[in-house]
Structure 1
Amino acid sequence: MAIIEVEHLHKRYGATVAVEDVSLAVEEGEIFGILGRNGAGKTTTVECLAGLRVPDGGRVRIAGHDPVREPGPVRRIVGVQLQDAQLPDKLRASEAVDLFASFHDEPADPRAVLAGLGLADKADTRFRDLSGGQRQRLSIALALVGRPRVAILDELTTGLDPHARRETWALVREIREMGVTVVLVTHVMEEAERLCDRVAVIHEGRVAAIDTPAGLIAAVPDAGPRTSLEDAFVALTTPSADAPAPWPFPFPIAR
């Protein structure tokens, strides 16, 4: 059963069209990936899902609710971690989670959330003193403290080292095991291939394909055992005019 339904979503900023025509459905309990090049419309799409942006056209429903007309129910259902979210440098981790818990009628225990995300010993640490991985964990804590049915995670592992990235992947799996549907916006193809049940590839404001990672890989012309989701993504989002120049380059490199 779909907990998220998007039909012909359209969003523009002045003369710039950010989302041309996006339609997709996310089943309850799955990890659903959204992939796309920079400027493809990924973040605008999920901001419309969360009610942070007002669409200019189309239909969005979260568990049957319109994020614009019914923001209260949607805020109770959806937890959001956005790529560019920042907290005041001096705010302590526990203060941030307490603050976000106060926005909800029946939040989870903030201390339990911090402990569950491995931040119990960082409760009194100021935001500026947290590592990149710890900041991402805190972002997840803020998204989960309201006990949402849907968690939207935008570029969750950007800038993390490989160890911290894999720890974060394990946390995403644990979130799903808690019964939370996860919408994961990512540029990391390995991340999408390992974590996502299905993936939507958005190209120039439209959905280029929706399938399982394995299904997208199998659709690549001449796919072989070493074909990856990255290969499928490049095939779906590279117009022929953008194809790289053949070697040698048409200009000298060495002196």
Structure 2
Amino acid sequence: MDSREREGGRPDGPHGAAVIAEDFGLKGARGWAFRHVRVDAAPGDVVAIEGPSGSGRTCLLLALTGRVRPTEGRAEVAGLSLPRAMAAVRRVSALGHVPGVSDLDPALTVAEHLRERALLQRRFGGSLGSLRPGSLRPGSRRATEARGHIDAALTAAGLDTSALPKGERTSARDLERLEALRLSVALALIGRPRLLAVDDLDLKLSDADRAEAWRLLRSVAEDGTTVLAVCDQAPEDADTVIIRTNEEGAADALAETGRA
């Protein structure tokens, strides 16, 4: 099935992005970060990238979202070819929690994170070509629309700000791990991405919170957004990219996919 057919072949097709990769690989100064990766995900799938820390799983996540240039193989995200269309892939994808790349600022409150992301989305989320007569709205209407996008993202991420110690005035440093994850997902969803990527999903989570985190991502996927999630152990109901270190050492990893 080609990418146009998987995407619905029409402008009103599925919101989520199909993700296809064949013999996908990335080689750095210390050897292969990952190699021989095959991915075949339909719009709205949850793809878990499972493997130990240091196995190349984060590099794979960043390569599939257009943030890192691959070395070999081919991939398509929403019909956009990698690495040729990396900038376009970045526009249709968003990063949730990725340590060192999209960290929350511990000094900012939840409200400040949300306002900042909504402002950035308003300024850079659309193109000049998308402006039409009458599309420049008064400030009060823009503020109302921005709040609507924020509320929708918070609902989709399952973050009830009224339950936080200081509501939206709660600092990021005071959030529990699962609450911080929900905020990161909400920030990513403000721009209505077709592909959401989350790193270290199950890091420092209890079994109950880990199950809740996967329920969150499945809920996002059920709303139509394709999800890539790096984890130590994937649930049984996710498509899985398993990264295994080969005999040449931890810096050189092989990956394969399997549908549960």
TM range (shorter): 0.7 to 0.9
State the alpha-carbon separation in 1 of the partners of residues 35 and 244 from structure 2. 10
Question: Which shifted more, 22-31 or 162-171?
Answer: 162-171
- Residue 70 of structure 1 deviates from its aligned partner by 2.9
State the alpha-carbon separation in 1 of the partners of residues 31 and 150 from structure 2. 41
State the alpha-carbon separation in 2 of the partners of residues 95 and 66 from structure 1. 35
Partner of 1:171: 216
Partner of 2:241: 200
State the alpha-carbon separation in 1 of the partners of residues 103 and 81 from structure 2. 27
Question: Which shifted more, 176-185 or 113-122?
Answer: 113-122
Specify the SS of the correspondent of 1:33: strand
Partner of 2:75: 60
1:8 to 17, 20, 23: 23
State the alpha-carbon separation in 2 of the partners of residues 115 and 35 from structure 1. 27
Partner of 1:145: 190
State the alpha-carbon separation in 1 of the partners of residues 46 and 79 from structure 2. 19
State the alpha-carbon separation in 1 of the partners of residues 51 and 191 from structure 2. 29
CA contact (8 A) 1:44 1:53 kept: yes
Partner of 1:234: none
Larger radius of gyration: 1
Alignment of 1:230-249 (within 5 A): none
Alignment of 1:176-191 (within 5 A): 176-189=221-234
Partner of 1:128: 173
Residue 36 (structure 1) aligned with residue 51 (structure 2): yes
1:15 maps to a residue whose letter is R
State the alpha-carbon separation in 2 of the partners of residues 58 and 100 from structure 1. 34
Alpha-carbon deviations, 1:52-109, whole Å to 9, x = none? 1111222221111135443443233212224414222211112212322323239871
Share of identical aligned residues, percent?
Answer: 27
Residue 78 (structure 1) aligned with residue 93 (structure 2): yes
Specify the SS of the correspondent of 1:142: helix
Question: Which shifted more, 92-101 or 104-113?
Answer: 104-113
Query: Could you say if the C-alpha distance between residues 95 and 70 of structure 1 is closer, same or farther in structure 2, counting changes exceeding 3 Å?
Result: farther
Query: Could you say if the C-alpha distance between residues 42 and 168 of structure 1 is closer, same or farther in structure 2, counting changes exceeding 3 Å?
Result: same
Query: Could you say if the C-alpha distance between residues 38 and 115 of structure 1 is closer, same or farther in structure 2, counting changes exceeding 3 Å?
Result: closer
Partner of 1:111: 151
- Residue 175 of structure 1 deviates from its aligned partner by 0.6
> Structure 1: which 5+ runs fail to align?
214-255
**Count of equivalent residues:** 208
Query: Could you say if the C-alpha distance between residues 7 and 82 of structure 1 is closer, same or farther in structure 2, counting changes exceeding 3 Å?
Result: farther
1:150 maps to a residue whose letter is L
Specify the SS of the correspondent of 1:143: helix
State the alpha-carbon separation in 1 of the partners of residues 258 and 69 from structure 2. 27
Partner of 2:258: 211
Query: Could you say if the C-alpha distance between residues 118 and 15 of structure 1 is closer, same or farther in structure 2, counting changes exceeding 3 Å?
Result: closer
Specify the SS of the correspondent of 1:34: strand
- Residue 200 of structure 1 deviates from its aligned partner by 2.1
For the aligned residue pairs, the C-alpha RMSD in angstroms reads: 2.3
Query: Could you say if the C-alpha distance between residues 131 and 15 of structure 1 is closer, same or farther in structure 2, counting changes exceeding 3 Å?
Result: closer
2:254 maps to a residue whose letter is R
